[in-house]
Structure 1
Amino acid sequence: MKALVINCTLKESPEPSNTEALADVVTERLSEHGVEVAPVRAVDLAIAPGVVTDAGDGDAWLRVHDQLLESEILVIASPTWLGRPSSVAQRVLERMNAMMAETDDADRPVAYNRVAGVVVTGNEDGAHHVISEISGALADIGYTIPGQAWTYWHLGPGPGPDYLEEERGRDWAHDTGRAMADNLHGVAVALAALPLKAPG
């Protein structure tokens, strides 16, 4: 079983990413379940704007799209900015929109029988809003969203320290992240055993 973790931080590599650090907790737990996890930092790639799978020369999205189709589990990880998902997360979701028109050999949407979850960090409130926006978009595309398929870290309203600078709240975020990984894996196994049929 494979998982893809798309980190939608605004920070280019090799700058440390708070969002990546929390997503690593989920990655480690998935690996304990024997899942092969591939990380992608989207901001490092030349992902063109749009809602198509292939935007032509210079567009790096097609490789990510191929990884999505190779993975039973998807994790979208985003920081919170102004109470909303990052602009990078929005671009990723917009490019994934093209998957709604793609079907597999059984005439099912290509996202069917795949599960997805969300990781959020931020030194301001808004994590539940970010989770709901990303989860809702992924469900529209066809992903199955298990119960408690998310984790987040923040210290409440207003500015404050970043995840990598602050120990408070980490235990809860880590416990929730491990539970998230367990639920993603469990539902992915169930869908592999009893796949969803084509709509209608």
Structure 2
Amino acid sequence: MTDLTALVLACSLKPSPAASSSELIGREVLAALGEHDVAGEVVRVVDHDVKFGVSTDEGGGDAWPALRAKMLGADILVIATPIWMGQPSSVSKMVLERLDAELSETDDQGRLLTYGKVGAVAVVGNEDGAHHVTAEVLQALNDVGFSVPASASTYWVGEAMQGVDYQDLGEKPEKTTGTTKTLAANAAHLARLLRGANYPA
């Protein structure tokens, strides 16, 4: 089987070394991908000086070009985001805005550089909004050229208006764990298919 790679962008608002539920679920997705011969890494975006903008390089020490290089080198991109006020985090929205630049980047056959890459999302929060956040992120990834497999998301949300975070749970919920495994299996499957037969020019 062809070895695949994945990049998980953890879109926590908190820089390291603060604990992060979104990074945790992102690492769980990466571990599940590892069961399908996918290697990769988790990057917490706020640990890097990513500038606001919609180009591939905003200058002035912008850290996005280095993260973009990791993204272009990976077969699978996972956006792991918390929910804030029912929305994806501002960090994840900044990442999606930077990915907008990919609409102008093509290979020598005129295809977007993101064609042949798979997108997925992992969401955590102690409020409602997981389906809304998933829809926003997956639609944006698809808009800029990523392919979305079946069951391309996993999430956990706690009881409404309570303060328990995903990272504070003891044993992880069986349903979330199973959904994470399904995401990983389907993402790896689609990535292998696309690696062998990318979209036509």
Measured against the shorter chain, the TM-score band is over 0.9
| 8 Å Cα contact 2:23/2:42 also seen in 1 | no
Distance 1:119 1:55 in 2: 27
Indicate the RMSD between aligned Cα atoms, in angstroms. Answer: 1.2
The 5 Å alignment of 1:1-200 reads 1-167=4-170, 170-198=173-201
Normalising by the residue count of structure 2, what TM-score does the alignment of the two structures yield?
Answer: 0.95
Deviation of the 1:38 alpha carbon? 1.6
8 Å CA contact retained: 2:22, 2:81: yes
- 1:57 CA displacement: 2.3
TM-score (norm 1): 0.95
What CA distance in whole angstroms lies between the structure 1 residues aligned with 2:79 and 2:66?
16
Instruction: Give the match's secondary structure for 2:133.
Output: helix
Structure 1 residue 26: Cα displacement: 1.1
**Residue type matched to 2:168 in 1?**
E
CA distance in structure 1 between the aligned counterparts of 2:162 and 2:90, rounded to whole angstroms = 19
> Structure 1 residues 168, 160: CA separation in 2 closer, same or farther (over 3 Å shift)?
farther
Secondary structure of 2:8's aligned partner: strand
Contact 2:26/2:42 (<8 A) preserved: no
Gaps of 5+ in 1: none
Alignment-mate amino acid for residue 163 of structure 1: Y
- Quote how far apart the aligned CAs of 1:35 are: 1.3
1:156 to partner: Cα distance: 4.0
Runs of 4+ in 1 over 3 A off after TM superposition: none
Q: Using a 3 Å threshold, how does the CA distance of structure 1 residues 154 and 169 change in structure 2: closer, same or farther?
A: farther
- Structure 1 residues 72 and 126: CA distance shift in structure 2, 3 A: same
Question: Offset at 1:13?
Answer: 0.3
Letter in 1 for 2:188: H
**Aligned residues: percent identity?**
42
Length, aligned pairs only: 198
Secondary structure in 1 matching 2:160: coil
Write the letter of the residue equivalent to 1:35.
V
Task: Give me the whole-angstrom Cα distance separating, in 2, the residues matched to 1:174 and 1:20.
Answer: 15
Q: Runs of 5+ in structure 2 lacking a partner?
A: none
Mapped to 1, the partners of 2:24 and 2:131 lie a distance apart of 19
Q: What amino acid is the match of 1:124?
A: E
- Which deviates the most, 78-87 or 102-111? 102-111
SS of alignment partner, residue 41 of structure 2: strand
